[in-house]
Homo-oligomer: A and B are copies of this chain.
Amino acid sequence: MINAVGRDIPEEILKITGKEVFHGNNYYDGYEYKKDGPITKCVMNNSDSKLVKSIHEALVKCEIKDGMTPGFHHHFREGDYIVNMVMEEIHKMGIKDITICASSLGKAHDPIVPYIEDGTITNIQSSGVRGKIGEAISNGKLKGLAIMCSHGGRVRAIETGETRIDIAFIGAPTCDDYGNCRGIGGKSDCGVLSYAMVDGDYADKVVAITDCLVPFPNFPAHISMTKVDYVVEVDAIGDPKKIATGAAKPTTDQRKLMMAEYCTQFVVNTPYFKDGFSYQTGVGGASIASTISLSKIMKERNIRMRFGVGGLTKPMCDLLINNQADCMLDTQDFDLDAVESLKDLRHFRISAGEYADPFNKGAVVNKLDFVILAALEVDINFNCNVVVSSDGIITGAQGGHPDTAAGAKCAIVIAPLLQGRIPAICTEVTTVTTPGESVDVVITDYGIAINPGRQDLIEAMKDVDLPFKTIEELRDIAYSIVGEPKKVQFEDRVVGIIESRDGTIMDVVRKIKKFEFS
Contacts and interface: CB of A to CB of B under 8 A. Distances in A.
The majority secondary structure among interface residues of chain A is loop
B36 A37 contact: yes
Interface string A395-426: 00000000000111100000000000000000
A361 B41 contact: yes
A50 interface: yes
Contact of A409 (B38, B42, B46): B46
Contact of A39 (B30, B34, B366, B407): B34
Given A41-B32, A216-B367, A361 B225 contact: yes
Interface in A1-60: 25-26, 28-46, 48, 50
Contact of A46 (B35, B217, B407): B407
Contacts of A409: 46
Nearest to A37: B35
Interface stretch (A352-360, A440-448, A505-513): A352-360
A438 B396 CA distance: 56
A437 to B, nearest CB: 12
A276 B39 contact: no
A217 B307 contact: yes
A167 to B, nearest CB: 13
Contacts of A307: 216-217
A336 interface: no
A489 interface: no
A468 interface: no
Contacts of A215: 276, 306
A219 B330 CA distance: 12
A162 to B, nearest CB: 13
Contacts of A109: none
A348 to B, nearest CB: 4
Given A42-B31, A362-B48, A354 B26 contact: no
Interface stretch (A76-84, A122-130, A131-139, A226-234): A226-234
Nearest to A364: B217
Interface in A206-265: 206, 215-217, 219-220, 224-229
Contact of A44 (B25, B33, B36, B178): B25
A208 to B, nearest CB: 11
Interface string A267-288: 0000000001000000000000
B26 A45 contact: yes
Nearest to A326: B215
Contacts of A33: 39-40, 42
Interface residues of A, number: 65
A331 B327 CA distance: 26
A206 to B, nearest CB: 8
A482 B216 CA distance: 47
A339 interface: no
Given A46-B367, A178-B367, A276-B215, A40 B220 contact: no
Given A33-B40, A406-B44, A217 B361 contact: no
A179 interface: yes
Nearest to A350: B219
Contacts of A368: 46
B357 A226 contact: yes
Contacts of A216: 306-307, 367
Given A32-B41, A327-B217, A228 B178 contact: no
A199 interface: no
Contact of A361 (B32, B226, B367): B226
A337 interface: no
A215 B326 CA distance: 11
A28 B40 contact: no
Given A30-B43, A229-B361, 9 more contacts: A34-B37, A35-B37, A42-B358, A42-B361, A44-B502, A45-B366, A216-B306, A226-B353, A226-B357
Interface of A: 25-26, 28-46, 48, 50, 159, 178-179, 206, 215-217, 219-220, 224-229, 276, 306-307, 327, 329, 348-350, 353-354, 357-368, 406-409, 502
20 contacts: A26-B45, A29-B42, A31-B41, A32-B39, A33-B42, A35-B37, A35-B40, A37-B37, A40-B359, A42-B360, A44-B359, A46-B407, A178-B367, A206-B361, A216-B367, A217-B329, A217-B348, A225-B362, A226-B362, A226-B363
